[in-house]
Structure 1
């Protein structure tokens, strides 16, 4: 390789690195836009669009921690992963044993302040905290306070009057 080849090779590598960076940043922007479009507020109606995983997700917070709740109309109560509960500073109030899709799970009960995008709140909600839960589940203890209807790929939610 001569001295003249090095600048040409360096230029080609730089161009390919820049192309790769542009593709990566474009993908990340597309991904962020797709996630943001799953939640919309249309007046007083919250519209959730089914995610790529086939589930509805509702962004919100447990205390000050941002989370993406999985809407679970088959769950009686809201459940949180133990790692999230610890980050949010939740205090165990006693043990719980619950039935999940994966079988029986042991954990603890705690009270949590839940805030969902669109203005829905559940203060001091009793939640189940489970060590092996993959994602926070929003159960009927919160959803039952709301009126919701489903169309293919869309869940519309309104406060009950």
Structure 2
């Protein structure tokens, strides 16, 4: 029995080292998608083919999907409830998945790199998978795209 226990312990330790190594690699890869070079924010395309910009909604950390096709910044209803957003009115909107019912609310959005949108009117949609950063925020900035990279800077 002691020999079997030793082998099991060794394999468990090897598995733990591999698991922790993978988690470390995953965290480093995630953090390298966002870079700040002076006032220029550089976003690197993620494995899902999209650009993600870390930020906060009323102080709650979120990972925004940059969506130049979205007129308005949109939040999943679960996030809006967690933040405590109050509905200001109902909306019907067109999304990539079709027509969606939701509500509008006001919130403060802060993005890594110092970009802020105070009291931003956002759409809250029940079936939205991730927060979308729309042109209501992006339109205030200057952005350019290279293969695999999105560069964002304040408007001159």
TM-score class, shorter-chain normalisation, is over 0.9
Q: Rg larger in 1 or in 2?
A: 1
When normalised by structure 2's length, the TM-score is 0.99
- Asked if residue 22 in structure 1 is aligned to residue 22 in structure 2, the reply is no
Cα offsets for 1:58-88 (capped at 9, x unmatched): 0000011100000000000000000000101
Unaligned runs of 5+ in 2: none
When normalised by structure 1's length, the TM-score is 0.96
TM superposition outliers: structure 1 runs of 4+ over 3 Å: none
Q: Which residue number in structure 1 is paired with residue 8 of structure 2?
A: 13
Alpha-carbon distance between aligned partners in 1 of 2:39 and 2:132, rounded to the nearest angstrom:
23
Tell me the C-alpha RMSD between the 2 structures. 0.4
Cα offsets for 1:108-129 (capped at 9, x unmatched): 0000100000000000000000
Q: Which residue number in structure 1 is paired with residue 115 of structure 2?
A: 120
Q: Which residue number in structure 1 is paired with residue 77 of structure 2?
A: 82
Unaligned runs of 5+ in 1: 1-5
Counterpart among 146, 152, 155 of residue 151 in structure 1: 146
Counterpart among 105, 111, 120 of residue 110 in structure 1: 105
Equivalent residues, number: 156
